[in-house]
Structures are given as C-alpha cells and as structure tokens.
Amino acid sequence: MKTKQVKPKYQAWLSAESMHNMSAKWLSELKFAKDEQLFFNDLVKSYTLQLIDSKRFNESKKIIDQLSALQKKTDSLIETVIKHEKGLKIMVDGIDQIEEENAYKDEHTKLIIKISKFLAKYRTLKTQLFSLVKAIIKEGKQKRLLQ
C-alpha cells in the first residue's frame, strides 16, 4: 500500500516578520546545540574508559554514533536556515511573485517540521547521554566507597 502525500487544506498566514523571527530563533537554537555538542564531546572524552567498558559499550557506541550524526545534521540545518533567511527578501521586495512566494512559504512550512523533529530527537539523545554518564559517575562513587 502506498502512502499518499496530503496537502494541508488550511495554511496559516505567515507574515515576513514572523518568518524572520522564527528563522532567527531556529538559528539561535541550532547554534546553541552546536556549542552544546562541543561540551558533549568533552564529556565523552572525559569518560572514555568507562564508556568502553564491556557492559556499557553497545549503548555508549549507539549514543556516540547518534551524537556524531546529529553534529553533521546541525551544521547542515544551520546552513539551510541561513540560506532560507536570505531568501526572505522575495516576501518583502514589493513585487507580486505569487509562485515564488508560495514556494518560499512551503519551504518554511517544511523547515518548521524538519527543525521540530530534529530538536525533539536532539533532546532525547541529550537525555540518554546524561543518563549514561550519571550511571557511570554513580558506579564510580560506589566503587570508591567500597575500597
């Protein structure tokens, strides 16, 4: 059975200003995520020996691989949002270009969905990484108490 692409019957009217503000917010969130990923890399380096421990290796590898993939995706999305922001002039140039303006709005709608999914996945990965490191720290403290 093939899935059918459904076009929304109702599309919210977005002003150029609201699209600009949304793009600026996305860019800010993505740049923050990029900075956060540097912290995650340092965190992983700090706990490398514990992460490659045999009982946590598979989970650690999966999370670290996902983190690496999300770093590349973050860079890609930052470039996409910057390019999208530069294309906003089509909306404010005062010339009626219905097809181009509709294409821009469609692209904006797709970016809303794409970035929302990315940020949700990113938050989930962040939670998994912190849970893993928390467990490692807790285990290390227990070992020190027993010695």
In a domain, 7, yes or no: no
In a domain, 129, yes or no: yes
Predicted confidence (pLDDT) per residue in 18-40, tens digit: 989 999 999 999 999 999 999 99
In a domain, 9, yes or no: no
Alpha helices (H) along the chain? 16-46, 48-51, 57-86, 89-92, 98-146
Instruction: Give the predicted TM-score (pTM) of the model.
Output: 0.81
Q: How many structural domains are present in the chain?
A: 1
Domain that holds residue 108: 16-146
Whole-angstrom distance, CA of residue 42 vs CA of residue 4: 44
Please compute the mean of the pLDDT values over residues 34-60 and round it to a whole number.
87
Say which DSSP state 87 is in.
T
In a domain, 5, yes or no: no
Whole-angstrom distance, CA of residue 115 vs CA of residue 87: 18
* Residue of 142, 144, 147, 135 lying closest to 47 (CA atoms): 135
In a domain, 64, yes or no: yes
Residue 25: predicted pLDDT? 96
